[in-house]
Amino acid sequence: MSQIQCVRCGIAGEPQAFKPFSNEMGTRIYESICKACWAEWLKTQQQLINHYALIPHQPKAKEFLLRNMEQFLFGEGAPDSLP
């Protein structure tokens, strides 16, 4: 894939270097989210981790971050809230 049309910012640009996850969501992000938006999410994710003092491998924290990621990138799912 040489270029993608980002569903978040609407700009056609380079895809990410690799899939962020090896699952369906990873493919979806790879195919529809540009590098810049992904970088923005990583920053936001770090802020959430710091703000809520999350431990990222804990299942609850993981689920929380995944939900927020979906919302951030695709505008879907529940709004920000701790489980």
Residues forming contacts to Zn ion in the complex (CB under 5 A) are 6, 8-9, 34, 37
* Closer Cβ to Zn ion, 61 or 72, answer by number: 72
The answer to whether 65 and 45 are in contact (CB under 8 A) is yes
CB of 61 to Zn ion, least distance (A): 25
Token pair, residue 47, equals: 């802020």
CB of 2 to Zn ion, least distance (A): 16
Three-state helix/strand/coil letters over 43-65: HHHHHHHHHHCCCCCCHHHHHHH
* Closer Cβ to Zn ion, 3 or 58, answer by number: 3
